[in-house]
Structure 1
């Protein structure tokens, strides 16, 4: 197949490119060319800027692809421009949305039938914690209206794995394997749920190959934190009340992965992916995700906010004995 990927150089896009090549497909990527590009040479690179509307999409005009995978559409204006232009030029439009589209709190687990947030207005361009979900809802609706019988909407859980530049997951995979007494939020009984980026990318190609329309939640196994850290290699965990720990580590991004089961946003860690499994979604074992993430992160030069020295200081202050 000929596959067009809007974005393609970072994380989900990069893994999708690699999976498509491994499956023998021809791949074109469309982006501004401003992010580091470590993609194979045989990839066709098309340049433009979705923020400029139709005038920024001239490189896509007059071309045909079997499918488009939109991994970089965060704003309705961006998605409308590309989706309208490519109508009639692509056989299927796969939009990478997010679990954040769901209105919470809500009955759990979250399914594809759970209520959505109200869509954001199409002129909103600021992306933050409050607008991200509503913007994704608006983008979904645009794609569904333009491709009623030829679109697939994927709503991934927190996506993790190699090339994940956000420290919220890599920290735990790396820290647990280092050994020694480690700080962790809660008491070990709250749940964690993430999705391996490679599972997401493989499913993207499967829905294209199968011509499968519809909406799918994508998530991985739901583990309690004690099991998660054990699978990461931890042997001695010092559990600390999450509020106490967050007060001691106000600027620590690593703690953002934790959500208590009693939190109004507990749906972040309780997403049903049964529908995707029935459609061929496959799962990587959590310990493999942790190992491969740790291996990749070991080659990076970006430090964690929660350094070993800071962890020791907090441990001493919270447990002087």
Structure 2
């Protein structure tokens, strides 16, 4: 297949690129050029990566960069707002057979469910889209990350029908190139025995190994289903689970400090919105259990520091 990846040169995007190349697909990456194409892609793949430069927010520039190219599948790794989705839908509607958007568990930011959350809890066909919100403001976008993704999904889900899927990705762990700093946040405090702020009622959450989400996205590229799908490993994790493994690897002492108000640590949650992955499982993807990869994932990230 001929596949375009928008923004696919970082973290699990570069792992997806490597998998697709290994499988024999022709891959084009489109970005602004601020980050280079990974230089550790498989050398024995039948295709090399084509690189296109354009700002995906500039519709005219996007059209110009694409020329008359068409694609079997477009994988959008960096669609954060409904404005970006609207541009993508106009530009790629005539150019692709299927659109795979990387979404997030944070679309469920208003959920607090005693049972794992299924996709229908947020039906993008019922989400109101407001293109006039200040989506170009970085602070606004950071504060409304889940809302931006939810409204972007809604744009793709609107009539007339558009062949898309929104992969709602769980919290990702693993890799020496984890740029979030969340694991190191815990490691620093565990080494020093410093308090780790968590909510008084701290709920477990769903996670996925960085290699597994790349595998899932590669699988989704070759599939035909549409609509939202939750993507996460089996076995929710608590803050204590993650810290216990970090403590085993780096030494020190875990001190969880419950707080009623104020900022809490990453990977600690005052509400329950762990996802249900039964749709993806029924469609044919076999997820691993977090117990199988947690130690390796944390070791990769901590070993790079």
TM-based fold match above 0.5: yes
Per-residue CA distance 1:247-299 (angstroms, 9 max, x = gap): 7xx7x9xx22212xxx2x332xx221121222214226445344244334533
Matched, 1:240 2:240: no
Which 5+ residue runs of structure 1 have no aligned equivalent? 301-321
Change (3 A) 1:11 1:284: farther
Q: State the distance in 1 between where 2:247 and 2:109 align.
A: 35
Change (3 A) 1:293 1:230: closer
Query: 1:131 matched to which residue of 2?
Result: 144
Per-residue CA distance 1:94-151 (angstroms, 9 max, x = gap): 0111122225244332211114695451133134454222221221122223673621
Query: 1:145 matched to which residue of 2?
Result: 158
Q: Is the 8 A contact 1:91 1:150 kept in 2?
A: yes
Query: 1:158 matched to which residue of 2?
Result: 171
Q: Is the 8 A contact 1:120 1:134 kept in 2?
A: no
Q: State the distance in 1 between where 2:238 and 2:212 align.
A: 21
Q: Is the 8 A contact 2:244 2:254 kept in 1?
A: no
Change (3 A) 1:148 1:73: same
Per-residue CA distance 1:193-245 (angstroms, 9 max, x = gap): 3222222221222122121222111123202343333444537744332328x
Q: Is the 8 A contact 2:71 2:96 kept in 1?
A: yes
Q: Is the 8 A contact 1:203 1:281 kept in 2?
A: no
Q: Is the 8 A contact 2:93 2:162 kept in 1?
A: no
Q: Is the 8 A contact 1:32 1:47 kept in 2?
A: yes
Query: 1:52 matched to which residue of 2?
Result: 58
Q: State the distance in 2 between where 1:175 and 1:143 align.
A: 41
Change (3 A) 1:148 1:171: same
Q: Is the 8 A contact 1:87 1:146 kept in 2?
A: no
Matched, 1:258 2:264: no
Q: State the distance in 1 between where 2:292 and 2:183 align.
A: 13
For residue 121 of structure 1, the aligned residue among 130, 140, 157 is 130
Q: State the distance in 1 between where 2:286 and 2:267 align.
A: 24
Q: State the distance in 1 between where 2:119 and 2:232 align.
A: 12
**Displacement of 1:182 after TM fit?**
6.8
Within 5 Å, which residues of 2 pair with 1:278-293? 278-279=282-283, 280-283=285-288, 285-286=290-291, 288-293=293-298
Matched, 1:112 2:119: yes
Query: 1:14 matched to which residue of 2?
Result: 14
Which 5+ residue runs of structure 2 have no aligned equivalent? none
Within 5 Å, which residues of 2 pair with 1:71-90? 71-90=77-96
**Displacement of 1:152 after TM fit?**
1.0
Query: 2:241 matched to which residue of 1?
Result: 227
Q: Which TM-score applies when normalising by structure 2? A: 0.80
Q: Which TM-score applies when normalising by structure 1? A: 0.76
Q: Is the 8 A contact 1:70 1:95 kept in 2?
A: yes
Which of the pair has more CA radius of gyration? 1
- Measured on the aligned residues, the alpha-carbon RMSD in Å equals 3.1
For residue 304 of structure 2, the aligned residue among 276, 281, 299 is 299
Query: 1:309 matched to which residue of 2?
Result: none
Q: State the distance in 1 between where 2:95 and 2:227 align.
A: 20
For residue 208 of structure 1, the aligned residue among 221, 238, 250 is 221
**Displacement of 1:183 after TM fit?**
4.7
